[in-house]
Amino acid sequence: MIIKDEGLLIYEKIIKENNLFIKLLTKENGLRFGIVYGGNSKKNKVIYQLGNFINFHLSQKNENFASNIYGEITNPLMSNLYNDKYKLHSVLCCCSLINIAINENQHFQYIYNSSKDYFISLNNKFWFYEFSRWVFNYLKELGYGFDTKNINFENRFLNTDSLLFIDNKNKDNFDKNHIIEFPYDLYLNKIISFKQVLLFFNFFEFIMKNLILDDSKKKIPKIYFDFKEIILNRLLNKND
């Protein structure tokens, strides 16, 4: 089997000296993984970094052998982010979330395209807003999208049983364990305040823990919580 495609590097692990085991969310062939011989060498480190998009060649003799991967970088994204811990953490967070949600050969082209759009937007002023949109697209692709057309201050609580927003006056009629406040001002008005960002993280964690990972041994990755902490600390200090 031979595959030629473009892919986002979402996971890597050093194995045996300079070799790497990597996972790629590909443009046309779903999630693929294999070994890059010499991938951790000084020459190749710049290519095989989490968050990079690469054009790759994958070959596999048969099912009993691991795939061999060779790639060339299409966008040296990560090398441009080393001096910005906030954006760097956001990209690593995206890659880790993709890694826990997608299995081999699954096709999530919407997440792939959304990731590419978000990474390109990192030079924009409202990059965190774009990150939040990426997260909502991620949830939608996993089957937990919701209609935000009529959301406003009076209609900002989500019923996670129906994935419908309800009038705030009626929220006490529902089981409080199935009601979560949505960061409507972040989503609608790009307001990046401590309160709205905290609501955003709480909302995401609620959906992940109670709906997506509820029956799974997988957990929200540590890099996500690291990112959450540095963003909230920055906003808290800014407000002070």
What are the structural domains, with CATH classification, of the chain?
2-79 (2.40.50.140), 81-239 (1.20.1440)
pLDDT of residue 240: 45
**Structure-model confidence comparison of residues 215 and 235, the more confident one:** 235
pLDDT of residue 108: 81
Look at residues 215, 10, 1, 209 and name the one whose alpha carbon lies nearest to residue 106: 10
Mean pLDDT of the chain: 88
Given a cut of 60, whether residue 239 has pLDDT beyond it is: no
Rounded to an integer, the average pLDDT of 193-205 is 96
Q: Which whole-number Å values give the CA distances from 2 to 12, 27, 102, 181, in the listed order? A: 21, 15, 22, 47
Q: Name the phi and psi angles at 109, rounded to 5.
A: -65, -30
At 104, the pLDDT band (50, 70, 90 cuts) reads low
Given a cut of 80, whether residue 81 has pLDDT beyond it is: no
| pLDDT > 70 fraction of the chain, expressed in percent and rounded | 94
Whether pTM > 0.85 for this model: the answer is: yes
| pLDDT > 90 fraction of the chain, expressed in percent and rounded | 51
